[in-house]
Amino acid sequence: MSTGHGSRFDLNRYDLATYLVYLLAVAFFIFPIFWVLSMSLRPEGDVLTYPVQFIPDEITLAAYEQVYGPATTWLWNSTKIAVLEAIGILLVCVPAAYAFSRFEFRGRRHVLFGILLFQMISPVVIVIPMYSVMNTLGLFDTHFGLILLYIGLQVPFSTWLLKSYFDTIPDQLDDAAAIDGCSRLQTLWHVILPSMLPGIAVVIIFNFVFSWSEFVMAFTVLQSSDLFTISVGVFAFQGQYSTSWTLIAAVSILAILPLIVMFVALQRYFIRGLTEGAVKG
């Protein structure tokens, strides 16, 4: 498909079909978000107007003012958990990925195979026993426990992805550093890590989004409403105010907004992680 022939007004039927696909896709994927946003910006009484107003006649932030208190607590909890989880995962997985990339040892392939198997197991499958594990460890209803649990769940994915980035850095760099008298740890810190920062960014972003969105574990482990993450908070909120649609819409928008902003700003990394995480394992 060569480019450059034909002017702007010279669209063939495949161009038109493509535009039609674009139009339908944007309508289907954006409209629900637009609609919830529009719901959140109207006075409570205007939910039941007929005909339906796509853009509200009267725009107000009243709903946001009402949900502000609990929502900021939950947003703060989610941010805190997501940041600490991402730091923890790097501390745990960078050394492991380094070992799988740089050492030859017996059973290495089998362990890697096992990790890949673990990566594919959904948290949903182990949520029931996790309830008793957290009770046994005295970590029930604590952020600390949830963060440790998230690190555990994310070890397989993060180790695999980091290992694939380590593999792209040539061994000669290590050898050169060793000749200069660097220990393995110094080599890792001063030589290897600085050259794989984009890969580390992908790992951080995916872990951040995971912790932010995760529901079933947080729902099971956290009981006090002031400890809720935003996902659990939104769910509890809509259970409590089941027909206050403007409030539910406002709290949903607050849960979505940080992720969409982050995604649009860091799109490149998202797409990298998506394809590399899936295709390379």
Partner 1 sequence: MATETDRRWTNVAAVRSRASRWFSDIQEHPFFWILPAALFLGVFLLYPLVEAFRMSVTNMTLLDPTDYSYVWLDTYVRIFESPDFWGMTRVTLIFVTASVVLQLVGGMILAQAIDYGVNRGLHGSIFTRISVLSAWVIPGIVIGIVWKIMLIETRYGVINYIILQLGGDVVSFLSDGQMALLSTIVANTWRGTAFSMIMLYAGLQQVPDQLKDAARIDGASPWQRFRHVTLPLLKPVLFINIVLITIYTINTFDMILALTGGGPGRATEVLALYMYFEAFERFNLGTAGAIAVVMLVVNVFMTMIYIKYLLGEDEF
Binding to partner 1, residues 243-272 (CB under 8 A): 245, 248-249, 252, 255-256, 259-260, 263-264, 267, 270-271
**Cis check: omega of the bond before 51, within 30 degrees of 0:** yes
Contacts of residue 75, defined as CB under 8 A and 6 or more positions apart, other chains included, come to 230, 254, 255, 258
Can residue 117 be called a binding residue for partner 1 (CB under 8 A)?
Answer: yes
- Nearest residue (CB) to partner 1, 69 versus 181: 181
124: which 2 tokens? 């949903």
- Contacts by 119-123, CB closer than 8 A, 24 or more apart: 119/156, 119/157, 119/160, 119/281, 123/153, 123/214, 123/216, 123/217
Q: How far is the CB of 61 from partner 1 (least distance, A)?
A: 18
Q: Which residue among 64, 74, 98, 269 contacts partner 1 (CB under 8 A)?
A: 98
Q: At what angle do helices 108-120 and 143-166 cross, to 10 degrees?
A: 130
Amino acid (one-letter) located at 116 = L
Residue 22 lies near partner 1 (rule: CB under 8 A): yes
Rounded to a whole number of angstroms, the minimum distance from the CB of residue 197 to partner 1 is 20
Minimal distance, residue 139 CB to partner 1, in Å? 10
Q: What is the closest distance, in whole angstroms, from the C-beta atom of residue 144 to partner 1 in the complex?
A: 13
Residues in 166-195 at the binding interface with partner 1, rule: CB under 8 A = 183-185
Mutual angle of helices 143-166 and 62-102, in 10-degree steps: 50
Q: Which of 7, 9, 10, 28 binds partner 1 (CB under 8 A)?
A: 28
∠ CA 56-58-60 to the nearest 5 degrees? Answer: 100
- CA geometry: angle 224, 84, 256, nearest 5 deg: 70
Please report, as a single letter, which amino acid is at residue 277: G
Binding-site residue total for partner 1 (CB under 8 A)?
100
Helical H segments across 167-244, by residue range: 171-179, 184-187, 193-195, 197-213, 216-221, 230-240
Residue of 62, 83, 87, 133 that binds partner 1 (CB under 8 A) = 133
Shortest reach from residue 70's CB to partner 1, in Å: 15
- Tell me which residues in 48-67 interact with partner 1 (CB under 8 A): 48-52, 54
Which residues, numbered 216-235, are part of the site for partner 1 (CB under 8 A)? Answer: 216, 220, 230-232, 234-235
Residues 196-215 binding partner 1 (CB under 8 A) are: 209, 212-213, 215
Q: Is 149 in the site for partner 1 (CB under 8 A)?
A: yes
Under DSSP, the state recorded for 104 is -
Q: In the bound complex, what is the minimum distance in angstroms from residue 172's beta carbon to partner 1? A: 19
When the beta carbons of 193 and 259 are compared against partner 1, the nearer one is 259
